[in-house]
Amino acid sequence: MSNLQRPVSNIQSPKSNLQRPVSNIQYPISNIQYPTSKKMKKTIVIGASPNSARYAYLATMRLAQHGHEVVPIGIRKGEIEGIKIVEGKPEEEGVDTVTLYLGPARQPEYYDYIFSLKPKRIIFNPGTENPEFEQMAKERGIETVEGCTLVMLSIGAY
């Protein structure tokens, strides 16, 4: 019988520190600074909300933590970790990315505004996919991505 076929009965697991409670973590963890080795991208978050349970809130926070300049645009006043949510359709220059957290039914009123920003790319987060808008963007030379901003940030693909 080779070593690979022998049953292993005397393996002992190493002692683990996992049973000690972690007492020095404070929530929310909003002051985490992520490495910023890639070029920072000015990003407009459309559909921003002061509700911390919303993905747009988390995306705004994580974009800022990764060092990106972020402009959250929403329909309600508020803040996201100290960043004021802008109401309306402010003029912005140097926009790299627009990331959408607004359903397809509410997007048409933003088409002209988004195109006026001249973004290099539009991210259609889950639930915001819109073939009509994507086609219009592609015809204007704007890259479109159906993906999740949070996942893209977490795997270094933003």
Q: What residue segments make up the domains of the chain, in order of their start?
A: 43-154
**Would you place residue 44 in the very low, low, confident or very high pLDDT band (cuts 50, 70, 90)?**
very high
pLDDT tens digits, residue range 72-104? Answer: 999 999 999 999 999 999 999 999 999 999 999
pLDDT tens digits, residue range 3-15? Answer: 444 444 444 434 4
Q: How would CATH label the architecture of 43-154?
A: 3-Layer(aba) Sandwich (3.40)
Q: Determine the average pLDDT of the residues in 34-59.
A: 86
Which structure tokens are listed for 123?
A: 């991210």
pLDDT for 120 beyond 70: yes
pLDDT at res. 47 = 98
Q: Poorest-confidence range of 33-37, 44-48, 119-123?
A: 33-37
Phi-psi region of 89 (alpha: psi -120 to 50; beta: other; left: phi over 0): beta
Instruction: State the CB neighbour count (10 A cutoff) for residue 41.
Output: 19
What are the backbone angles phi and psi of residue 84, rounded to the nearest 5°?
Answer: -70, 135
Instruction: State the CB neighbour count (10 A cutoff) for residue 54.
Output: 16
